[in-house]
Amino acid sequence: MSELGAALGTLRGAWMAGRPAAEVAPAAWREVAGAGTKGELALAAIAGQALEVAFRLRPGSPPEERPPLPRLGLPVLSDSAREVARRLMASLRSEADKARLIGLLLARGRVMHPADWMPAPGDEWLPDVYGPWLDWLRGAVASGAPSLTETTWPEWPWRACRAELRRLRRADPAAARALIAACAPSEPAEHRVQILELLGEALTEEDASLLAAFANDRSPRAKEIARSLLARLGPGSDDATRAAEQELAGFFTLRSVLLMQRLEVHALTGTVARARRTALAEEVGFPGLAAALGLAEQRLLALMPAKEEEAGVLLQVMAAGTGSAALLPTLRDRALAGALHDTALALLVPRLGREDRLSLTAERIRREADPLFHMSLQLAAQDPGALGLRQIQGAGLGALLSAVPAPAEEQPTARQARERTLAAGLFALGMLADAAAAAVLLERAVAAGLSIADPRLDALRLNAMLVPGHTP
Amino acid sequence: MLPTRKQIETAAPDQAALNAAAGLIKPAKWSGLGRSADDVLVWGECQGSGANPYRVVADVTNLGSKCTCPSRKFPCKHGLALLWMVADGATWPVAEPPAWAAEWVGRRRKGTPPAIRGDSAKSLDGAVRAEPDAPPDPAAEARKAAAAARRSADTRASLLAATEELDRWMADQLRTGLIGFLGEAGERCRRIAARLVDGKAGALAARLDELPSRLLALPAPERPDTALVEFGKLVLLCRAFRDAPDDAELRRELASTETREVLLADPATPRCASAWEAVGEQVVTRRDGLVAVSTWLMNLRPHGPRFALLLDYFPASAGRRSAAFIAGDQFEATLAFYPARAPLRAVIAERADAPSPRLPWPEPDDGDPLAAWLARLEAAPWAQIAPLLLPPGRIATERSGAAWWRRGDTVLPLDGPPSAVALGSDLRAACGLWSGGRLTLLAAQSDWGRLDLV
């Protein structure tokens, strides 16, 4: 320690204990400071300045710099769009709404600027393009390995691994299957679930043996996904599954009346029977049930009770979730005709192509007068910002715009409800409309009485700024 | 539909508000005037008596308005003046409403314009009618001057006594042991602060009042030295004041700040016309119930002080205030600095539009990042804070989580956890405030562009 440091330490010790520092101060300091109370204060002034000027705090352990925050695979928003996106993101409370905004930006080829918003390390709902940020937040160092193999798997940060696995699944499904079979079992449950969800994309018969290996996974969610995907591929091949299929089929009777077949639903004897039927429906796949009833899937679909009946809902959900790919066009047509229960619809839509999804969403908007576009938002989850003005116009839009002007003598609770509807509905429109429609809707909202500067118009404003192919 | 003069008269809380608004309907008092494309919103920034300009936005269809001034009248004189200018036919460029205007629109509940009452005693014409000057009364003037001189002498004596009292108090803390002081800092500082307020040393009292929270924010091993450093500064401040009790800077450090009007009227007030960037704003609620709003400006040109501080105080009861500037705003302005050995605090004397194109930050010096702090201490050893422009560096963290700004072997401890983007960025330059023991980052230029770090 330096002489100065030692002197200051001695003075500090004296003052901490309440002893006069003049007794222990260096002689040169005493001479300058003088004696008595004024002298003590002068020594404090000298010591204080010396501490501040001559000494600097040092870290207790060597500080380490994080690796640079990686660039994502898409450009960030421009400055003008950033201001709106920042304000909008700050106003969103639910993960679902944040996911919608992120999805809209992604659809327009943009990502958030990290100074405006960063995810939390556990935000697994983010699309793959944000994977590098999630891995960085978790302190996972990017692998230098050239490719993802059984050997290099442990070196890959999780989100990078998942994105690479998705790419491999499309490019070389057999290689992806082999890698999953070798490496997935040792991953934590959360990762096994995500891997199995990947298998749901472009599912084929060749995935059956891999899925069978996860059919008894120790994670209930992983097990459920594996069994659901297996069920889509056909009736069960093991005794237990076949027995369950037969048991579920036992709740129905196929009758022929004058050359017409009918599927009769047995009356349930009580809550235990109802619970058992429900549990079997979750365990058994639609192809398996059809086979147990001696019917083709399409035939079973045609014979199903109406969606308003409990058994009808149950069978629709089974068909939408585990029906084979060949069933999808028929289910889509039913949905367009309004004959599919919402629960089944929610399972069906992720399995359809983009055109079908958008048609269903537009049809839903046309049918409903919901100013919040609640179900439409769910249906359009994979296709944000894609609907044209003609597809959005309808009773729901009319109901929303008519909520803009405040009625005379409005009660506070009614006003709060109206303002919540406006905020949620305008956000929904911003997530549903394409850029051209968003610009028109923005004008209509202002014409209805909203101020152009109203932050509730931010979703539409941002959408209209992000014209595909243009730099905003 | 434009507001009418009758509507403005009706909306005004009283004639005094209209009289005050009359003084503000000159375009020279305003900057950043604009209107929305639908001609519903108008806005602008008006330089009031505070250091920061007031932001005013109004809805011309129903005379709703919002202003960042601390007035409790509604609408305030700034809102009235803005609407008055519109009613008299002023028109401004159409622009996208600024974010602070959008924030108001989002929060407000629209009402209807007030009904016009024909017999209103309030009058815009009356507000602009000049009152005839009273004839000069030499005897009254002499009595006023004598009273002012007596008050000044009384204040001087009170402040000198306050410095002696503070010296005695500090000596007592040292004599009885800093261990005891650190254990009871809150109570002890509160008591001496109350006595200093009685002695008219309000600014000194506030400094003592804030000391306990400053100490508590630090790890325990750092508190004794921090207390010693602050005592040393106070000793030097009190001595300096006793040696020069009429020094304006020292008066400001002990008592109160001269008004903006007095500052601008003094021909000796140092001024600097340049381009400035708002690098950060801090809003702190003090123990005495005042909210201190500090806006830090950086000079983007090579002449004049590198930094300026616009400092305003509002009562906490006046409610939440909107920021006077958006971080990153650039504008041309002449700042008038409060005279000081190392001028920092200032007011905006004149303001013009933003420079176009945007100006880059000045190049930071490559030497000791604390050089500006040391220079400030040499000029004013009682100074508590100094703004810095730091050279390229990065943020690094210890295993414990403590964060440091680092450039080579030079490290400066940060006063709080940095944002993720700051941790992962190459900071090409950074603005921050050094308090003698901790660095508060305000903004940085980085490989991700400008970062707002407050």
The answer, yes or no, to whether residue A254 has pLDDT greater than 70, is: yes
Which residues make Cβ contacts (< 8 Å) with residue B47, sequence separation at least 6? B29, B31, B53, B54, B348, B351
Q: Taking 80 as the threshold, does the pLDDT of residue A471 lie above it?
A: no
Q: CA B216 to CA B185: how far, in whole Å? A: 9
User: What does the pLDDT look like over B24-39, one tens digit per residue?
Assistant: 998 878 888 999 988 8
Among partner residues A37, A47, A114, which is closest to B448 by beta-carbon distance?
A114
Q: Which of A17-26, B179-188, B287-296, B359-368 has the lowest mean pLDDT?
A: B287-296
**pLDDT tens by residue, B171-200:** 999 999 999 999 999 999 999 999 999 999
Which band of pLDDT confidence, cut at 50, 70 and 90, is reported for residue B169?
very high
Nearest C-alpha of chain B: how many angstroms from A439?
15
CB contact under 8 A, B423 and A66: yes
Q: Do A465 and A432 touch, CB atoms closer than 8 A? A: no
Q: Do A118 and B406 touch (CB under 8 A)?
A: no
How sure is the predictor about B102, in pLDDT bands with cuts at 50, 70 and 90? confident
Q: Is the pLDDT of residue A407 over 50?
A: yes
Taking only the tens place, the pLDDT of each residue in B204-213 is 999 999 999 9
Contacts of A12 in chain B (CB under 8 A): 178, 224-225, 228
Contact A68 B424 (CB under 8 A): yes
Most confident of A142-146, A264-268, B110-114: A264-268
- How do residues A327-371 score in pLDDT, each as one tens digit? 999 999 999 998 899 999 999 999 999 999 999 999 999 988 899
Q: What is the pLDDT of residue A469?
A: 65
CA dihedral A282, A283, A285, A289 (to 10 degrees): -100
Chain B residue numbers with beta carbons less than 8 Å from the beta carbon of A56 are 370, 412
For all residues of chain B together, what is the average pLDDT? 90
| pLDDT value at B108 more than 80 | no
Q: How many CB atoms lie within 10 A of CB A34?
A: 14
* Facing B411 at nearest CB: one of A15, A59, A455: A59
What SS3 class is residue B93?
Answer: coil
Percent of residues, chain A, with pLDDT higher than 70 = 98
Q: Closest-CA residue in chain B for A121? A: B420
Name every chain B residue with its beta carbon within 8 A of the beta carbon of A66.
397, 423-424
Of A46, A57, A451, the CB nearest to B40: A451
| 8 Å CB contact between A436 and A388 | yes
Q: What is the mean pLDDT of residues B80-107?
A: 86
Q: What is the pLDDT of residue A417?
A: 92
User: Which carries the bigger pLDDT value, residue A472 or residue A158?
Assistant: A158
Among residues B294, A225, A281, B112, the alpha carbon closest in space to that of A289 is found at: A281
pLDDT of residue B278: 96
Give me the mean pLDDT over the B377-395 stretch.
Answer: 97
- State residue A143's pLDDT score: 67
Dump pLDDT digits (tens) for A102-137. Answer: 999 999 999 999 999 999 999 999 999 999 999 999
- Which residues in chain B have Cβ-Cβ distances shorter than 8 Å to A68? 424-426, 447
- pLDDT(B113) > 70: no
CA distance A9 to B334: 47
- Asked if A115 and B451 come within 8 Å (Cβ–Cβ), the reply is yes
Q: Which of B229, B368, B425 to mutate to probe the A interface, most A CBs <10 Å?
A: B229
**Residue B102 sits at the chain A interface (C-beta within 8 Å):** yes
User: CB-side exposure of B157: number of CA atoms within 13 Å?
Assistant: 6
pLDDT digits (tens, 9 = 90+) for A191-239: 999 999 999 888 888 999 999 999 889 999 999 899 889 888 888 777 8
- Out of A47, A61, A454, name the one closest to residue B106 (CB): A454
Whether residue B121 lies within 8 A of chain A, CB to CB, comes out as: no
User: Bridge-partner residues for B46, per DSSP?
Assistant: B30, B54
Strand pairing category for B439-446 and B427-434:
antiparallel
Which of A268-272, A413-417, A440-444 holds the top average pLDDT?
Answer: A440-444
- Best mean pLDDT range from A149-153, B44-48, B343-347: B343-347
What digits encode the pLDDT tens for the residues B302-347?
999 999 999 988 888 766 666 778 889 999 999 999 999 999 999 9
B382: nearest CA partner in chain A: A49
Confidence bin at B111 (pLDDT 50/70/90)? low
**A379-388, A440-449, B15-24: least confidently modelled range:** B15-24
Are residues A37 and B171, on separate chains, in Cβ contact within 8 Å?
yes
Mean pLDDT of A56-66: 93
What amino acid occupies position A145?
A
Cβ distance of B232 and A57 shorter than 8 Å: no
Higher per-residue confidence, B372 vs B5:
B372
Looking at beta carbons, which residues of chain A come within 8 Å of B228?
A: 12, 15, 44, 47-48, 51
Q: Is pLDDT of A93 > 90? A: yes
What pLDDT, on a 0 to 100 scale, did the predictor assign at position B73?
A: 81
Q: Which residues of B touch A45 (CB under 8 A)?
A: 231-233, 235-236, 239
Average pLDDT value for chain A: 91
B413 and A16 within 8 Å at the Cβ level: the answer is no
* pLDDT above 70 (res B201): yes
For the beta carbon of residue A42, count every other beta carbon within 10 angstroms: 23
Which helix (H) or strand (E) is B103 found in, with range? helix B99-107
Tell me, yes or no, if B416 comes closer than 8 A to chain A by beta carbon. no
Number of H helices, E strands in chain A: 25, 3
pLDDT band at B114 (very low <50, low <70, confident <90, very high): low
Contact A340, A321 (CB under 8 A): no
Provide mean pLDDT across the span A276-282.
Answer: 90
How far is the alpha carbon of A460 from chain B, nearest alpha carbon, in Å? 15
At B115, the pLDDT band (50, 70, 90 cuts) reads low
Confidence of residue B119 (pLDDT cuts 50, 70, 90): very low
Stretch B352-358: mean pLDDT, rounded? 88
Kindly tell me the sign of the dihedral angle through the C-alpha atoms of B260, B266, B268, B272: positive
Mean local confidence (pLDDT), A371-392:
94
Task: Give A153→chain B minimum CA distance, Å.
Answer: 25
Q: With 80 as the cut, is the pLDDT of residue B49 above it?
A: no
